[in-house]
Structure 1
Amino acid sequence: MIEVQDVSKKYGDFTALHSIDLKIKTGEFIAVLGPSGCGKTTLLKLLAGFMGPTTGNIVMDGTLMATAKRVTPPEKRNIGMVFQSFALWPHMTVADHIKFPLDHHPNRKKESKAELQSRINDVLGLVGLDAFAARYPSELSGGQKQRVALARAIAPLPNLLLMDEPFSALDVELRMEMRKEIQKLHRETGASIVFVTHDQSEALAIADKIVVMNDGRIEQIAPPEIIYTRPETPFVATFVGKCNLIKGQWKKEGFVPEIDPGSIWPDLGVARSFKADGIYPVRPEQLQLSPAKKNGLHGRVTFVQYQGHEIHYTVEVAGGTWTVHEPVYLPRFQAGDAVEVSLKAGAGQERDFLSAAR
C-alpha cells in the first residue's frame, strides 16, 4: 500500500501540485492521466524519491518515505523506473542491462552465478528478448529498446514500477503491442504500477484505476468504465472521451435542454456537480442523426471524418458545436446537410449496467 497524504509541491511561486491525496493498493495498476503541465511527472518524481514534497507525507508499506524535511532516496526504495527516452547504456548488451540492477539493487540478496543467470534468462523470456541477449542498443528496434527498459526495471522484483510516458517515442502499432506487454508483465510480476500518460485511450485500455489530473489537482479517481460513463467534472467529461456539455434545466422527471424545451432527457447517472450547474454530459456515441423534419432539434453538419468503424460528425446546433459518432453502416451525411439530433433510445443502458454491477 502506498499513500500520498495531502502532498503539495512548489517551485518558487509556482504550485505544481495542490494537496494531493492518493492511495495505491498492492498490485494495483494506476494510470495518471492529464494534459501537459498538469503535475503528472511531478507526482511520479515524488513517488520515486527524486525530490521531496513541499508539504505532506508519502508512506510506502507502512514506512514514511518522504516529508518536507526528509526524503528517502530512490536507491533505498524498492522501485523500478521506466523513462520516456528508454535511457539505455550504449556500451552494455541487453543481458548486461538486466544484470546491472540485480548486482546493485539494495533489496536483492547475493546470488550465485547460476542463480543470477537464471534470473536474467527468466526476465529475457518474460519480455520476449531471449534471442537478443548479446545485442547492443544500437542493434535494436524502438520496440525492442522499450522491452529492454522494461526488463531492467522489473529484474529486481520491485514492489512499485513507475513509468513516465514510456510509449511516447513509439509508433501507433508498437504502442498497441507494448500495451499488451505491460498488462502481461503486471499479471506475472504482481507489482504495483503507476503509469503516467496524456493519452486517454492508453489509460482506458490498460489501467485498473485512472487518476485524472488538471492544473496540479486530482479531478477524479475511478476505474476506466466509471471515468468514461460517469465523469464528475466538466474537465473529465471533455478530456476523456470528448463529452458534449448541454445546457438546460434539471427537473424531477429529467433534463430539459435549453435549446429544445419541449423534450425531456433521462437521468443517465449524471453527477451532482453537473446538475447543480444545469449541464447534461452526453457522449458522441449516445447521440444520433436523422434527416431534418419539421419537429425536433435541428442542426447542420459542418465536418465529417471517416474512422473505419465509425463516422465522426461535427454538427452546429443553435450556435453550439456538437460531436456525434455513428456506425458506418447507417446512411451517411455530408458537410452542409441539415439534420435532426436526438438522444439514442438505449443511451443509458451501459450506465445502468455499471450502476447495478457496483
Structure 2
Amino acid sequence: MIDVQDVSKKYGDFTALHTVDLKIKKGEFIAVLGPSGCGKTTLLKLLAGFMGPTEGSIAMDGMQVATAKKVVPPEKRNIGMVFQSFALWPHMSVADHVKFPLEYHPNRKKGSKAELESRVQEVLGLVGLETFAKRYPSELSGGQKQRVALARAIAPLPNLLLMDEPFSALDVELRMEMRKEIQKLHKETGASIVFVTHDQSEALAIADKIVVMNAGRIEQIAPPEVIYTRPETPFVASFVGKCNLVEGQWKKEGFVPDGDAKSVWPDLGVARSFKANGIFPVRPEQLQLALAGNAGLQGQVSFVQYQGNEIHYTVEVDGTMWTVHEPVYAPRFHVGDAVSVSLKTAVLQERELAAVLK
C-alpha cells in the first residue's frame, strides 16, 4: 500500500503539485495521465525518492518514506524504475543488465551463483530475450531495449514499479506490443505499477485505475470505464476522449440543448458540476448526423476524415465545432453539407432499457 497525503511540491514561486492525495493498493496498476507540465513526472519522482515534498508525506507499506524534512533515498526503497530513454549501459550485456540489480538492489536475496544465473534466465524468459543474453544495447532494436529496461526493473521483485512514459520512443506497432508485455508482466509479478503517460488510449487500455492530472492537481481518479463514460470535470471530458461540451438547460425530465428546444436528452450519469453549469458532455460516437431539416441541432460539415472503420466529422453548430464519429456504413456527408446533429437512437434506447431493468 502506498499512501500519498496532502503532498505539495514547489520550485521557488512555482507550485508543481497542489495538495495531492493518492492511495495505491498492493498489485494495483495505476496510470497517471495528463498533458505536459501537469505534474505527473514530479509525482513519480516523489514516489521514487529522487526528491522530497514541500508539504505532506508519503508512506509505503506502513513506513513513512518522505516528508518535508526527511526522504528515504531510492536505493533504500523496494522499487523498480523504467525510464523514458531506456537508460541502458553500453558496456554491459543484456544478461549483465538483469544481473546488476540482483547484486545491488535492497530487495536482493543472497544466494549461490547458480541461483543468480537461474533468476537472470527466468527474467529474460519473461520478456522474451533468452536468446539475446550476450548482446549489447547497440545490437538491439528499440523494442528489445525496452524489454531489457523492463527486465532490469522487475528482476529483484520490487513491490512498486515506476514507469515514466516508457513507450514514447517506440513506433505505433511496438507501443501496442509493449502494452501487452506490460500487462503480462503485471499479472506474473504482482507488483504495484505507476505508469506515467500523456497518451489517453494507452491509459485506457492497460490500467486498473487512471489518475487524471491537470496543472498540478488531480482532477479525477477512477477505473478507465468510469473516466471515459462519467467524467467529473470539463478537463477530463475533453482530454480523455474529446467530449463535446453541449450547452443547454437541465430540467427535471432531462437536458434540453440550446437551439433544439424539441429534444430532451436523458441523464447518462452526468456529474453535478456539469449540470450546475448547464452542460451535457457527449462523446463523438454518441452523436449521429442526418440531412438538415431533420430533428436535432442544425449545422454544417467543416472537415471529414476517413479512419477505416469510422468517419470522423467536424461540424460547426452555432459557431461551435463538434466532433461526430459515424460508422463507415452510415450515410456519407461531405465538407459544406448542411446537417442535423442529434443523440444516437441507440444511446436513447440503452438509457430506456436501463430504466426498465431498474
TM-score class normalised by the smaller sequence: over 0.9
Alpha-carbon distance in 1 for matches of 2:101, 2:355? 45
Give the direction of change, closer, same or farther, for the CA distance of 1:180–1:217 in structure 2 (3 Å limit). same
| Counterpart residue number, 2:264 | 264
| Counterpart residue number, 2:52 | 52
| Counterpart residue number, 1:139 | 139
| Counterpart residue number, 2:237 | 237
**Matching residue's letter, 1:251:** K
Give the direction of change, closer, same or farther, for the CA distance of 1:354–1:27 in structure 2 (3 Å limit). farther
Matching of residues 1-358 of structure 1 within 5 Å: 1-293=1-293, 296-347=296-347
Q: What is the CA distance between 1:254 and its match in structure 2?
A: 0.3
Indicate if the aligned counterparts of 2:294 and 2:340 stay in contact, CA closer than 8 A.
Answer: no
Alpha-carbon distance in 2 for matches of 1:262, 1:19? 45
Indicate if the aligned counterparts of 2:301 and 2:315 stay in contact, CA closer than 8 A.
Answer: yes
Indicate if the aligned counterparts of 1:268 and 1:348 stay in contact, CA closer than 8 A.
Answer: no
Indicate if the aligned counterparts of 1:3 and 1:24 stay in contact, CA closer than 8 A.
Answer: yes
Give the direction of change, closer, same or farther, for the CA distance of 1:83–1:294 in structure 2 (3 Å limit). closer
Alpha-carbon distance in 2 for matches of 1:213, 1:352? 34
Alpha-carbon distance in 2 for matches of 1:109, 1:167? 30
Please give the root-mean-square deviation of Cα atoms over the aligned residues, in Å.
1.7
Q: What is the CA distance between 1:296 and its match in structure 2?
A: 3.6
Alpha-carbon distance in 2 for matches of 1:210, 1:92? 36
Q: What is the CA distance between 1:319 and its match in structure 2?
A: 1.2
Q: Which runs of 4+ in 1 moved over 3 A?
A: 348-356
Alpha-carbon distance in 2 for matches of 1:106, 1:61? 15
Q: Percent identity?
A: 83
Alpha-carbon distance in 2 for matches of 1:254, 1:350? 15
Indicate if the aligned counterparts of 2:237 and 2:243 stay in contact, CA closer than 8 A.
Answer: yes
- Corresponding residue SS for 1:322: strand
Alpha-carbon distance in 1 for matches of 2:174, 2:67? 39
**TM-score, length-scaled by structure 2:** 0.97
Indicate if the aligned counterparts of 1:212 and 1:220 stay in contact, CA closer than 8 A.
Answer: yes
**Matching residue's letter, 1:79:** I
Alpha-carbon distance in 2 for matches of 1:303, 1:155? 50
Alpha-carbon distance in 1 for matches of 2:35, 2:108? 37
Give the direction of change, closer, same or farther, for the CA distance of 1:185–1:348 in structure 2 (3 Å limit). farther
- Corresponding residue SS for 2:347: coil
- Corresponding residue SS for 1:346: helix
Alpha-carbon distance in 1 for matches of 2:49, 2:353? 41
Indicate if the aligned counterparts of 2:254 and 2:264 stay in contact, CA closer than 8 A.
Answer: yes
**Matching residue's letter, 2:342:** S
- Per-residue CA deviation, residues 109-164 of structure 1 (Å, 9 max, x unaligned), is 21101100110000000000001000000000000000000000000000000000
- Per-residue CA deviation, residues 152-197 of structure 1 (Å, 9 max, x unaligned), is 0000000000000000000000000000000000000000000000
Q: What is the CA distance between 1:63 and its match in structure 2?
A: 0.2
Unaligned runs of 5+ in 1: none
Alpha-carbon distance in 2 for matches of 1:177, 1:58? 33
- Per-residue CA deviation, residues 247-287 of structure 1 (Å, 9 max, x unaligned), is 11101000111121222111111000000011000000000
Give the direction of change, closer, same or farther, for the CA distance of 1:337–1:9 in structure 2 (3 Å limit). same
Indicate if the aligned counterparts of 1:268 and 1:352 stay in contact, CA closer than 8 A.
Answer: no
- Corresponding residue SS for 2:346: coil
Give the direction of change, closer, same or farther, for the CA distance of 1:93–1:293 in structure 2 (3 Å limit). same
Indicate if the aligned counterparts of 1:244 and 1:323 stay in contact, CA closer than 8 A.
Answer: yes
Alpha-carbon distance in 1 for matches of 2:296, 2:213? 38
Give the direction of change, closer, same or farther, for the CA distance of 1:349–1:197 in structure 2 (3 Å limit). farther
- Corresponding residue SS for 1:153: helix
Q: What is the CA distance between 1:346 and its match in structure 2?
A: 2.3
Indicate if the aligned counterparts of 1:32 and 1:197 stay in contact, CA closer than 8 A.
Answer: yes
- Per-residue CA deviation, residues 58-100 of structure 1 (Å, 9 max, x unaligned), is 0000000000000000000000000000000000000000000
Indicate if the aligned counterparts of 1:229 and 1:351 stay in contact, CA closer than 8 A.
Answer: no
Unaligned runs of 5+ in 2: none
Which is further off, 145-154 or 333-342?
333-342
Q: What is the CA distance between 1:107 and its match in structure 2?
A: 1.5
Indicate if the aligned counterparts of 2:37 and 2:215 stay in contact, CA closer than 8 A.
Answer: yes
Alpha-carbon distance in 2 for matches of 1:119, 1:355? 55
**Matching residue's letter, 1:77:** R
Alpha-carbon distance in 2 for matches of 1:111, 1:354? 59
Indicate if the aligned counterparts of 1:94 and 1:135 stay in contact, CA closer than 8 A.
Answer: yes
